[in-house]
């Protein structure tokens, strides 16, 4: 008797497991395919042109400080709080210039800010739609009035871009939104691109930027690494990079062309497609449980009759 029930149990476990497996692997083959929209807005950062003046950083803070709750950071060496010297992106810094030194003679500046992915992981994981991607402009935007502060976007972003205000009682997520409500609305260009004195940041539509980038690679192949970072990384980003050094040395991670969100959504969608699997599971279990209970109550009644 024990054996039969064990088999039943295995059958049940096997059935649920197999169902999940079939969903997981079956639909992984059916690639919906990511449509790249080259009309979206973006920026091209050319590290070889950047002189490291950090004018873009201060312009960003000046323009967005009220809107994005960007306060000035206290430098670590500075007890009086007079100096702003961020060492990384943070809850008060949306864009940052860093200097990478390979040797005394070979070095390169690099700019960090939101990559504005074609298929953003942060948008894919946000449970309450606080992270959104605008349909026309492609801007990945954040709404603090919706955000619950779960920080799943930080886990998900392969570039480690969204930052959280850890030291505040009323914190929010901070990341670049292409000056959507500030400079872009007023002047049609992001503050950093407008300010850059060296022409290292170019603002425009993704297709124009890509064309420009490939032209620069063609014109001066010796100057650059022959790769436009962001063209294919993680399904493509709207923030594109040119540099003279391998991008992973500049702190830009190597990412496969498939967007991480494609992989996770495929699995999640197949398990919950049309809510069929959960409903089926519930009704099957109900059927078994009610049957079992009736059987058991039958035993109880028998016992009562027999007992008296």
Partner 1 sequence: MGHSEEYQKLEGKIFTKSFFILLSIVLLGFYFVGVRYVKGIGAVSNMSDGYPWGIWITYDVATGTAIACGGYAVAILVYIRNRMQYHPMIRSAILTSMFGYGLAGFSVMVDLGRPWNAYNFFIPSKWQANSAMFEVALCVMAYSTVLILEFLPAILTSIEKSKWDRMNAIRNWLHPKIAPDKKTMEDKLEMVRLGAAWLNPRLNKVLIFFIVLGITLPTMHQSSLGSLLLIASTKLHPLWHTGFLPLLFLLNCVFIGYSIAILESIISSYSFKRPYEIEELSGLAGLIPFVTVIWLTVVIGDLSYRGQIHAALKGDFYSGWFMTEFLLVACGSLILFVKKCRRSARWLFISASMIVLGGALYRFNVYLIGFNPGQGWKYFPSFAEVMITVGIVALEILGYKVFVALFPVLPNMDLHGAHKKKGHAKKHKGGAAEKLPQTEAHAH
Interface positions, 11-30, toward partner 1 (CB under 8 A): 12-13, 16-17, 20-21, 24-25, 28
> Is-contact 113 94, C-beta < 8 A?
yes
Which structure tokens are listed for 220?
Answer: 């001066």
Please report how close the Cβ of residue 16 comes to partner 1 at its closest, in angstroms.
7
- Under the binding rule (CB under 8 A), the answer on residue 81 touching partner 1 is no
Question: Residue 201 has what DSSP assignment?
Answer: E
For 234: left if phi > 0, alpha if psi spans -120 to 50, otherwise beta; the answer is left
Q: Please report, as residue ranges, which positions from 118 to 137 form the binding site for partner 1 (by CB under 8 A).
A: 121, 124-130
Stretch that binds partner 1, among 47-55, 64-72, 222-230, 271-279 (CB under 8 A): 271-279
Q: Are strands 239-242 and 173-174 parallel, antiparallel or unpaired?
A: unpaired
Q: Please report, as residue ranges, which positions from 19 to 78 form the binding site for partner 1 (by CB under 8 A).
A: 20-21, 24-25, 28
Stretch that binds partner 1, among 53-61, 75-83, 216-224, 283-291 (CB under 8 A): 283-291
Which structure tokens are listed for 199?
Answer: 């022409």
Please report how close the Cβ of residue 245 comes to partner 1 at its closest, in angstroms.
16
Q: Is the Cβ of residue 150 or residue 217 nearer to partner 1 in the bound state?
A: 150
Query: x-or-dash pattern for partner 1, window 138-177, by CB under 8 A?
Result: ------xxxxxxxxx-xxx-x-x-xxxxxxxxxxxx----
d(Cα 241, Cα 223) in Å, to the nearest integer?
Answer: 14
> Is-contact 157 121, C-beta < 8 A?
yes
For 19, the 3-state DSSP assignment is helix
Number of residues located near partner 1, criterion CB under 8 A: 84
Q: Is the Cβ of residue 196 or residue 259 nearer to partner 1 in the bound state?
A: 259
Instruction: Out of 15, 220, 276, 286, name the contact with partner 1 by CB under 8 A.
Output: 286
Please report how close the Cβ of residue 17 comes to partner 1 at its closest, in angstroms.
6
In 3D space, the residue among 95, 33, 20, 17 whose CA is nearest the CA of residue 60 turns out to be: 95
The C-alpha angle with vertex 27 and arms to 26 and 32, in degrees rounded to 5, equals 155
Q: Is the Cβ of residue 218 or residue 299 nearer to partner 1 in the bound state?
A: 299
Q: Is the Cβ of residue 24 or residue 199 nearer to partner 1 in the bound state?
A: 24
Q: Please report, as residue ranges, which positions from 222 to 251 form the binding site for partner 1 (by CB under 8 A).
A: 251
Q: How far is CA 172 from CA 76, 142, 167, in A?
A: 22, 10, 10
Question: Residue 72 has what DSSP assignment?
Answer: P
């Amino acid at each position: 008797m024990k054996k039969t029930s064990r088999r039943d149990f295995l059958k049940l476990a096997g059935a649920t497991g197999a169902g999940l497996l079939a969903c997981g692997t079956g639909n992984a083959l059916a690639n919906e395919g990511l449509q790249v929209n080259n009309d979206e807005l973006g920026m091209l950062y050319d590290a070889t042109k950047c002189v490291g003046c950090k004018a873009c950083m201060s312009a960003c803070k000046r323009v967005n400080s009220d809107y994005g709750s960007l306060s000035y950071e206290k430098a670590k060496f500075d007890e009086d709080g007079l100096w702003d010297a961020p060492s990384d992106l943070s809850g008060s810094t949306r864009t940052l210039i860093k200097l990478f030194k390979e040797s005394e003679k070979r070095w390169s500046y690099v700019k960090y800010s939101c990559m504005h992915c074609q298929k953003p992981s942060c948008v894919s994981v946000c449970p309450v739609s606080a992270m959104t991607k605008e349909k026309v402009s492609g801007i990945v935007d954040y709404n603090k009035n919706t955000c619950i502060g779960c920080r799943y976007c930080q886990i998900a972003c392969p570039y480690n871009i969204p930052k959280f205000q850890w030291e505040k009682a009323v914190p929010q997520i901070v990341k670049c939104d292409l000056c959507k409500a500030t400079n872009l609305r007023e002047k049609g260009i992001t503050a950093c691109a407008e300010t850059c004195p060296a022409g290292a940041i170019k603002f425009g539509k993704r297709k124009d930027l890509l064309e420009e980038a490939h032209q620069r690679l063609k014109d001066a192949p010796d100057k650059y690494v022959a790769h436009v970072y962001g063209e294919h990384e993680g399904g493509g980003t709207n923030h594109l990079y040119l540099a003279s050094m391998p991008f992973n040395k500049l702190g830009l991670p190597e990412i496969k062309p498939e967007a991480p969100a494609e992989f996770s959504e495929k699995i999640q969608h197949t398990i919950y497609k049309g809510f069929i699997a959960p409903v089926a599971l519930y009704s099957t279990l109900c059927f078994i449980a009610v049957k079992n209970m009736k059987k058991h109550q039958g035993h109880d009644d028998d016992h009562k009759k027999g007992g008296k």
